[in-house]
């Protein structure tokens, strides 16, 4: 819906992070637009250098860029914002995973033209489902509200001049979300504590490398993620599963998905290597220190 509000339509091109969940880029297909995927750099997030290359190689000027703040860690926003302003491209922040994270002290999702949040059941704050769109542009927000309520015209009877959506959140679920906002900072602090424990107890293992945090940012460490230089992550996932510990691979990049086989991509292999070598560890805010130690002990055994 956010792309529709910005005037993106059939045949338009939209730039997007490739290393992400498909929900970040589905909106491009909803508008019959065409994605251009951009690979990651050492931050694991979208590469500003490759972003410039993607704009240069695009068949026509892209209308928007959707960046994903991956696993709660922010992109290099100073560089990305500068590129978008110079090129006249709308910047949309997918902050689904980064609620409570900040860049230069400013909350993620509020630095671009639009920000999108998720309140799915696995997020740091949840209403069981749904999400939120934010922008300082009142005209865009008014249009989004109109479209989210079936695009009903301001008449006594039901009048429709264009189609809309049923994207409203119920008052009950919204109230649940508002109440949880009071403990958001506490949950972010706990996620960061959990990451710090993992880092402390696993840093002695040479092949383990954790997702970095870029300068001037404070991630929410939604998930504690790492890469393994030698061991196949699937072996570790199996070993953890035998101890009733759930873990997951990292996201499979969009440009490697069958759905997007014909899409344009600017890549250097970074996100593919991360997918092949990466691992998401248990990271829930309710985990105890002892839970983290058990994961670390099991992982260490699997790596011997």
Domain finish residue from 152, 181, 210: 181
Using the predicted structure, report yes or no on whether residue 304 has a pLDDT greater than 90: no
Answer yes or no: do 169 and 263 share one domain: no
Q: Do the beta carbons of residue 9 and residue 33 sit within 8 Å?
A: yes
| Contacts for 127 with CB less than 8 Å, ≥ 6 apart | 119, 169, 173, 174, 176, 177
Tokens found for residue 278: 């990466």
Cβ-in-10-Å burial (0-12, 13-18, 19+) of 111 comes to: buried
Q: Distance between CA 271 and CA 68 in Å, rounded? A: 13
Task: Look at residue 151 in the predicted model and tell me its pLDDT.
Answer: 95
C-alpha–C-alpha distance, residues 33 and 11, integer Å: 5
- What confidence tens digit (pLDDT) does each residue in 7-29 have? 999 999 999 999 999 999 999 99
Tell whether 41 and 190 lie within a shared domain: no
The residue among 5, 112, 114, 8 whose CA lies nearest residue 63 is 8
Q: Is there a contact between 265 and 19 (Cβ–Cβ < 8 Å)? A: no
Residues 24 and 162 occupy one common structural domain: yes
Domain-terminating residue out of 181, 204, 219 = 181
- Residue-range definition of the domain harbouring residue 281: 185-303
How far is the CA of 260 from the CAs of 17, 41, 42, 61, 69, in angstroms? 13, 21, 24, 20, 21
Local structure of residue 15 (DSSP, 8 states): E
Q: Structure pTM?
A: 0.95
Q: Name the token pair of 286.
A: 């309710």
What pLDDT band is residue 1 in, cutting at 50, 70 and 90?
A: confident
153 and 274 co-located in one domain: no
| CA 66 – CA 46 distance, rounded (Å) | 10
Same domain? For 177 and 223 the reply is no
Name the DSSP class of 67: E
Of 138, 160, 181, the residue at which a domain comes to its end is 181
Are 210 and 272 found together in one domain?
Answer: yes
pLDDT at 19: 98
Whether 22 and 114 map to the same domain: the answer is: yes
10 — phi, psi (to 5°)? -60, 130
The stretch 43-71 carries a mean pLDDT of: 98
| pLDDT tens digits, one per residue of 183-208 | 999 999 999 999 999 999 999 999 99
Element (H, E) at 291: helix 289-303
Q: Do 125 and 227 share a domain, yes or no?
A: no
Per residue in 59-87, pLDDT tens?
999 999 999 999 999 999 999 999 999 99
Tell me what the pLDDT averaged over the chain comes to: 97
CB 33, CB 90: distance < 8 Å: no
Largest alpha-carbon pair distance within the chain?
Answer: 71
213 shares its domain with 119: no
Domain identity same for 245 and 216: yes
Each residue of 155-185: pLDDT tens digit? 999 999 999 999 989 999 999 999 999 999 9
- β-bridge mates for residue 36, sequence order: 15, 264
Pair 197, 88 in one domain: no
CB atoms within 10 A of CB 153: 11
Residue 209: pLDDT over 90? yes
Report the CATH number at residue 137.
3.40.640.10
Annotate 127-146 with b (16+ C-beta within 10 A) or e (fewer).
beebbbbbbeeeebeebbeb
Are 96 and 204 contained in the same domain? no
User: What are the pLDDT digits (tens) for 119-159?
Assistant: 999 999 999 999 999 999 999 999 999 999 999 999 999 99
Domain count along the chain:
2
* 209/225 Cα distance (integer angstroms): 9
Summarised one tens digit per residue, pLDDT across range 98-117 is 999 999 999 999 999 999 99
Please report, for the domain that includes residue 189, its CATH number.
Answer: 3.90.1150.10
């Amino acid at each position: 819906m956010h792309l529709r509000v910005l005037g993106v339509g059939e045949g338009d091109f939209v730039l997007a992070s490739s290393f992400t969940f498909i929900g970040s880029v589905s909106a491009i297909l909803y508008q019959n637009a065409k994605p251009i995927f951009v690979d990651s750099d050492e931050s694991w997030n979208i590469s500003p250098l490759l972003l410039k290359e993607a704009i240069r190689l695009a068949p026509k000027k892209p209308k928007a860029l959707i960046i994903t703040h991956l696993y709660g860690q922010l992109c290099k926003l100073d560089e990305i914002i500068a590129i978008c302003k110079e090129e006249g491209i709308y910047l949309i922040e997918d902050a689904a995973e980064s609620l409570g994270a900040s860049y230069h002290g400013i909350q993620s999702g509020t630095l671009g033209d639009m920000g999108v949040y998720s309140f799915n059941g696995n997020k740091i704050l949840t209403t069981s489902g749904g999400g939120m769109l934010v922008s300082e542009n009142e005209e865009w927000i008014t249009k989004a509200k109109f479209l989210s309520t079936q695009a009903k015209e301001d008449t006594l009877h039901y009048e429709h001049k264009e189609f809309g959506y049923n994207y409203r959140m119920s008052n009950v679920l919204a109230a649940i979300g508002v109440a949880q906002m009071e403990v958001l900072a506490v949950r972010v602090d706990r996620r960061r504590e959990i990451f710090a424990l993992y880092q402390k107890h696993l840093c002695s293992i040479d092949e383990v490398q954790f997702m970095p945090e870029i300068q001037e940012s404070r991630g929410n460490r939604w998930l504690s993620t790492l890469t393994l230089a030698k061991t196949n992550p699937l072996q570790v996932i199996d070993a953890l599963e035998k101890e009733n510990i759930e873990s997951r691979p990292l996201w499979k990049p969009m440009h490697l998905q069958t759905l997007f086989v014909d899409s344009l991509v600017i890549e250097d292999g970074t996100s593919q290597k991360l997918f092949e070598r990466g691992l998401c560890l248990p990271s829930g805010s309710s985990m105890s220190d002892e839970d983290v130690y058990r994961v670390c002990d099991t992982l260490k055994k699997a790596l011997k």
